[in-house]
């Protein structure tokens, strides 16, 4: 059964152009995996956002089967580990930040995402 996940790239103190550039890099890396589909979703800077606040202007919608969730998480974790510490990816209620994500935490994230995908109609 296939499901959809929305990945959102966040950066504290980064401009919309920088977040967009990094999101496009992640998009290109994800396209090399076995996901069914990955497309960018338009985003905008929240009204009233101040410099230094976390901005979320880059988002990707990924359609995949549970069998490729681990590959997707490996790509995302690798991408995040190469970013400055103020960049992270949010997937639903979960976040992957810098190199602080342990194997156990990533395994728990993958298990939760697989369960979510399995339960979707």
Lowest mean pLDDT among 5-9, 28-32, 53-57: 53-57
Per the DSSP assignment, residues forming a β-bridge with 68 are: none
Structure tokens at 3: 């499901």
Given a contact cutoff of 8 angstroms between Cβ atoms, the answer to whether 118 and 65 are in contact is: no
HSE on the CB side for 94, CA within 13 Å? Answer: 19
CA distance 65 to 56: 26
Beta-carbon neighbour count of residue 81 at 10 Å? 13
Q: Which helix (H) or strand (E) holds 41?
A: strand 37-41
Q: Map out the domains of the chain as residue ranges.
A: 3-119
Under CATH, domain 3-119 is a member of which superfamily? Multidrug efflux transporter AcrB pore domain (3.30.70.1430)
Given a contact cutoff of 8 angstroms between Cβ atoms, the answer to whether 80 and 87 are in contact is: yes
Local confidence band at 2 (pLDDT 50, 70, 90 cut-offs):
low
pLDDT tens for 33-76 read: 888 999 888 544 444 444 444 444 688 889 888 888 888 888 88
Given a contact cutoff of 8 angstroms between Cβ atoms, the answer to whether 120 and 103 are in contact is: no
């Amino acid at each position: 059964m296939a499901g959809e996940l929305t990945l959102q790239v966040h950066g504290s103190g980064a401009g919309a152009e920088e977040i967009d550039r990094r999101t496009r890099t992640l998009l290109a890396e994800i396209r090399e995996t076995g996901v069914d589909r990955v497309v960018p979703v338009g985003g905008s800077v929240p009204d009233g956002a101040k410099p230094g606040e976390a901005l979320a202007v880059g988002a990707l919608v990924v359609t995949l089967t549970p069998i490729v969730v681990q590959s997707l998480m490996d790509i995302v974790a690798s991408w995040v580990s190469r970013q400055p510490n103020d960049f992270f990816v949010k997937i639903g209620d979960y976040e992957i930040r810098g190199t602080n994500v342990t194997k156990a935490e990533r395994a728990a994230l993958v298990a939760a995402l697989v369960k979510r995908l399995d339960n979707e109609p």
